[in-house]
Amino acid sequence: MTLVEMSISIAVMSMVALSASMLTTTVHDTHVAATHLNRMTQHGRAACRRIRDALNRAQANSVFPGFIVRNDLIGGVSLPNTLVVWAPDVSPSDPTALPLVSELVVFQPDPDDPRRLVEITDPTDTSTVPELMDTTSWNTLMTSLENNGKRATLTRYLHFDTDLSGVPMSLIRFTARLRPDQSQIDAYIAETATWDDIYWPQNLYSSASGMRENECLFEFQLRDDPPAVQDITTFWGSSAVFYLEPQP
């Protein structure tokens, strides 16, 4: 074999080896991405299903609209990252009054680990929850639930970011859309609007009551540990609670 032929053979073998290396890297990266996506999809779907299941069995009345969204002040930023649902395992103790603490299901980031999304309950607390406008009592109740309630981890892959001071903020958000909103009911009470002027979902109302809708939208991001090729996956979900609002 001449020197030229040997040089050509070496070049061809180098190209083949490089192609095989690139193919191996591509296969590996594809496997890592697919494994990540499959794991994140499983965790995301399970968390969404758990939240929707609670919302689907939510009880509601004119003093508690099935669920509320609470904001946490983290690093000076108000984040709507906590969902409180009135979702008793059996019939509610009093369907016309405020729920009991034991009938609540709370979804929020774990106060001790921003990567965990947890479900919190306290089946032993039979006290009644505060009025919705009593912010101080609600803050006390939420602290008690975080410290004494039962926690179930829905996922340990919740993505989080940090503010300028390094405080971690879990990337999850809940939104409540109450229709008609309270301002329309207040306008009727103040006699600046009629019962017919109120926007009732699907125009479902009578002279005695109207159908009210409280819609929950939620969004969160999951990130594998360690991060993969496709390292962030976003999930969305929604559910609505309907109940009758009696005419004041």
Secondary structure element (H or E) that encloses residue 70, with its range: strand 67-74
Closest CA to 83 of 180, 20, 201, 175: 175
State residue 148's pLDDT score.
Answer: 93
Beta-carbon contacts of residue 70 (< 8 Å; ≥ 6 apart)? 80, 82, 83, 84, 138, 142
Starting at the edge strand found earlier in the chain, the sheet holding 104-110 runs 67-74, 77-86, 104-110, 113-121, 150-155
**What per-residue string of b and e applies to 229-245 under the rule 16 or more CB within 10 Å gives b?**
eeeebebebebbbebeb
pLDDT number for residue 64: 97
In 197-247, beta strands by DSSP E: 209-223, 232-246
Per-residue pLDDT of the chain (248 residues; tens, 9 = 90+): 565 556 666 666 667 666 655 655 555 455 555 667 678 889 999 999 999 999 999 999 999 999 999 998 877 778 999 999 999 998 999 999 999 999 999 999 999 999 999 999 999 999 999 999 999 999 999 999 999 999 999 999 999 888 767 788 899 999 999 999 999 999 999 999 999 999 999 999 999 999 999 999 999 999 887 655 557 889 999 999 999 999 98
Q: Which residues pair with 69 in a beta bridge?
A: 83
For residue 218, give the nearest of 109, 96, 144 by alpha carbon: 109
What are the backbone angles phi and psi of residue 100, rounded to the nearest 5°?
Answer: -85, 155
Q: Where are the alpha helices (DSSP H) in the chain?
A: 3-56, 135-148, 182-189
Contact, 118 vs 136, CB < 8 A? no
Distance CA 66, CA 57 (A): 9
9 burial via Cβ count (<10 Å: 0-12, 13-18, 19+): exposed
Contact 237, 52 (CB under 8 A): yes
Residue whose tokens read 């939104």: 175
DSSP code at position 165: T
For residue 204, what are the contacts with CB-CB under 8 A and spacing of at least 6?
A: 210, 211
**Residue 67 in contact with residue 55, Cβ under 8 Å?**
yes
